[in-house]
Amino acid sequence: MTNTYEVAYKRSLEDPEGFWGDAAKEIDWVRECDQILDSSNKPFYRWFVGGECNTCYNALDRHADGGRGDQTALIYDSPVTNDTKRTYTYSQLRDEVARFAGVLRTQGVGKGDRVIIYMPMVPEAAIAMLACARLGAVHSVVFGGFAANELAVRIDDAKPKAIVSATCGIEINRVIEYMPLLNGAIELATHKPDKCVILARPECEAVLNPTRDVDWATAMATAAPTECVTVAATDPLYILYTSGTTGEPKGVVRDNGGHMVALKWTMKNIYDMDPGDVYWAASDVGWVVGHSYIVYAPLLHGCATVFYEGKPVGTPDAGAFWRMISEYRIKALFTAPTAFRAIKREDPDGLLIKDYDISCFEVLYLAGERTDPDTLHWAEEKLDVPVIDHWWQTETGWAIAANCMGLHQFPVKAGSPTKCVPGWDVQILDENGHPQETGTIGEIVVKLPLPPGTLPTLWNADERYLNSYLNEFPGYYKTSDAGIIDEEGYLSIMARTDDIINVAGHRLSTGGMEEVLSAHPDVAECAVIGVADQLKGQLPVGFLVLKAGVTKDDAEVVAEVVRMVREKIGPVAAFKTATVVDRLPKTRSGKILRGTMQKIADNEDYKMPATIDDPTILGEIDEALQGIGYSSGRS
């Protein structure tokens, strides 16, 4: 018996123009497109060619003027700044955005100009993004606090007319001054922006450059509101830089029309949200999740979105998420498994949940990294709501695979983000491009054309786009992830393809081993990497972070997990070595830096990742590896 998901998925592959043409009716167009899908310049496909629109109008004006003006649009909660709280209705947010668009226009920003936004998690970051969209300018958000050199690289690539920034960001109880970083980046960069608009925060005063810098509040006081500028559906909305294998970031481009159509569709069909619901993506505007599901998708759908300037633990404790859900009556939360592992580590029995009324809460969505079964089951047990893993990438902008709650809820399989979302023709190939048998691990690819809202190319780098994603498997987008599709159509993401390790000729998934390690009752978090071995090619090494309060000897835990891997995966895994560490090296968005750890273990040179949360941890990892006979001891 077919269900709504199966009907939608079948139609999306057999009649993509009809499927997405219907979805496009949910968007207000200045001019409807001449062609839904343009395939004339393969593999550079374009959606809604000839259409004209404005993203800011669809996110704000049509709600403000269409009966939702007094409805809450944005909630700001900042436990790191003496519990600062603010809310904006759709009318208020539209008016603030229109006025800031006037500020940017006064500074010479117009249609097609680039604006870099280097901001903390404050509402003004969303206001700046939407103001750019209102003007038809192209924004590029850079994670607040990025090093000067990394910001300079992005300045030189995007060549912004202006930069919007703040005097500081705040990490729990640490103030991070932005102005020295911004000034240093501009000094390093070859391209110089004409103007910088600076939001002064009370936690940090800064001396502004009188010939370059403009004070946000002063400029807003006299700015004239600006109307929406019509752009082509295929014009770029934003550039978002993601790490490249060469060390140079790749500027992922997102268009206006396809982006709106796809994100609006996902809010109901994937996340089962209705206009007026409160939706919280606990991420940062510097990442793709922040673009898609803090700023654009909830507002396009008429929901209230949440800006949270805090952490899952430490602001003030592991009950922070439950306080937010209770206080703002949040229906759905989208966050990374890392956040829940941190909560589980601090409050393993979930006792703090009982301090709050979270009866409004209906579903938890996890993404950003593979969700280990232990974290999944802990969240299911403690929250008593569906816990939905889903998988996507910066390049795709929205989920490739998910349990589409607005279409049909499938039984959850631990370790799987369920099935491919409508629009995504996902296939598993071997390294020579041949289809793999059901249940056999291989390269995860997507048959072209990609659906709307994905990257049409890289910023000023068409050749790099082809080389990075399309040339290795002609006719397909290469995800650089490895996995399997089982007999029921469930997709499982096992690892990045460079994290598939080859042990004596056997291709093994580090993700599969991590799944076993995380099932140990004393393990809060773990990572497995492959290290070079003269005999077997590679051998797996595990890193374990133990839960708070564990009194068992480290060696005993290591012996137990080694035994578990032998029992669950078998001797073929050759898993014999693990070490206990206090923490794992991660990016600021919570992804574990397994590739860097592997380079340390193999005594290879590595570039300090720009997104690393705390560089000092690499020294700790080096010392831990020395203790088990690996690495150079360079720490």
The CATH number of the domain holding residue 149 is 3.40.50.12780
Residue 515, domain CATH: 3.30.300.30
Which residue ranges in the chain fall short of pLDDT 70? Answer: 1, 243-247, 498-499, 505, 507, 631-635
Closest CA to 184 of 239, 129, 146, 210: 146
What distance in Å separates the CA atoms of residue 633 and residue 625, rounded to the nearest whole number? 8
Together in a domain, 473 and 596: no
Residue 336, domain member (yes or no): no
Structural domain total, the chain: 2
Cβ(493)–Cβ(444) below 8 Å: yes
Together in a domain, 579 and 432: no
- pLDDT score of 635: 43
Residue 294, domain member (yes or no): no
Total-model pTM: 0.88
Over residues 443-498, the pLDDT tens digits come to 999 999 999 999 999 999 999 999 999 999 999 999 999 999 999 999 999 877 76
Residue 348, domain member (yes or no): no
Residue 145, domain member (yes or no): yes
Closest CA to 497 of 152, 224, 245, 177: 245
Domain containing 166: what range?
4-71+91-254+419-483
For 278, 309, 356, the CA distances from 361, given in Å and listed in that order, are: 10, 20, 11
Together in a domain, 471 and 531: no
Residue 367, domain member (yes or no): no
Residue 33, domain member (yes or no): yes
What distance in Å separates the CA atoms of residue 585 and residue 298, rounded to the nearest whole number? 31
Q: Give residue 157's identity as a one-letter amino acid code.
A: D
Closest CA to 492 of 540, 433, 444, 542: 444
What distance in Å separates the CA atoms of residue 124 and residue 118, rounded to the nearest whole number? 11
Together in a domain, 105 and 222: yes
Together in a domain, 474 and 511: no
Give DSSP secondary structure letters for 552-570: S-HHHHHHHHHHHHHHHT-
- pLDDT score of 505: 67
Together in a domain, 444 and 551: no
- pLDDT score of 246: 52
Tallying the residues shown for the chain, one arrives at: 635
Q: Give residue 476's identity as a one-letter amino acid code.
A: Y
Q: Give residue 415's identity as a one-letter amino acid code.
A: G
Together in a domain, 563 and 451: no
Together in a domain, 104 and 229: yes
Residue 570, domain member (yes or no): yes
Residue 170, strand partner residues: 175
Together in a domain, 454 and 509: no
Residue 340, domain member (yes or no): no
Quick one: CA dihedral 615, 604, 368, 523, positive or negative? negative
Together in a domain, 477 and 521: no
What distance in Å separates the CA atoms of residue 167 and residue 204, rounded to the nearest whole number? 6
**Intra-chain end-to-end CA distance of the chain, in Å:** 60
